[in-house]
Amino acid sequence: MRRCRRAQDRAAMAAGELLVAYAIDDAYGLRCRRADRRMTSEGKPFFSRPDNVHFNISHSGEYVLVGVDRAPVGVDIQCHTSATEGVARRIMSADAFASWKASADRAAAFFDRWVEKECALKWRGVGIGELTQTDAPLPQGVSVFRLPAPEGYSAAVCGTPPTPPRLVPEDQLLNVSC
């Protein structure tokens, strides 16, 4: 957290950690202080005690998205800002790019695609330099799922089939037991 200089990012990262504590307690009755936080070989954090609990955090705009599961999980949420043609060309096939160019809401169409790519990268625990890996097949039982998101946002999760996301207000996080 120290390494990130933007105040908004720091606040979102802190909220993400609180959301993880909330979610693992809510889903598994696991207090993060008692959980043993470790890193995968790719440098992705998870809790290893008493049983593996994986988590992933994403933030954009006013929202923080957290996914927790017994199996590896990757999540991404993005606020619909402007969609650049250069990035769209990189992440879409020629046919998909042509459809995107003709779409009525290019921003929504772009970010819907982007979050699908990004959550798959995060599931694999790799960075944007491995973008082409998102075209590689995922293991059996693992898929990318688009999530219902607030107006003006796109969100997706990569992992096992998710339960519907829940909105946790900020004030509820202040009472999280760690």
Tell me how far, at minimum, the Cβ of 35 lies from another protein, in Å.
Answer: 26
Q: Is 61 left (phi over 0), alpha (psi -120 to 50) or beta?
A: left
Question: In the complex, what is the shortest distance from the CB of residue 105 to another protein, in angstroms, rounded to a whole number?
Answer: 18
Pure H helices in the chain: 7-28, 85-91, 94-102, 106-124, 170-173
Cβ distance 138 to 156 under 8 Å?
Answer: no
List alpha helices for 37-165, DSSP H: 85-91, 94-102, 106-124
Of the candidates 94, 102, 128, 136, which one interacts with another protein according to CB under 8 A? 128
* Contact residue for another protein among 29, 43, 129, 137 (CB under 8 A): 129
Beta bridge partners of 92: none
Smallest gap from Cβ 127 to another protein, in A, equals 6
Q: Please count the residues of this chain forming the interface with another protein, following the rule CB under 8 A.
A: 20
Tell the smallest beta-carbon distance from residue 57 to another protein (Å): 12
**Shortest distance, position 28 Cβ to another protein, whole Å:** 29
* Smaller CB separation from another protein, 86 or 164: 86
Of 67-75, 82-90, 92-100, 135-143, the window that binds another protein (rule: CB under 8 A) is 82-90
Task: Select the residue interacting with another protein from 131, 138, 168, 173 (CB under 8 A).
Answer: 131
Angle at 18 (CA atoms; ends 46, 49), nearest 5 degrees? 30
- Name which position in 18, 65, 73, 78 contacts another protein (CB under 8 A): 78
33 binds another protein (CB under 8 A): no
**Helix H or strand E segment including 55:** strand 53-60
100: Cβ contacts below 8 Å, ≥ 6 apart: 88, 92, 106, 109, 110, 113
User: Would you tell me which residues interact with another protein (CB under 8 A)?
Assistant: 3-6, 9, 60, 78, 84, 86-87, 90, 114, 118, 121, 127-132
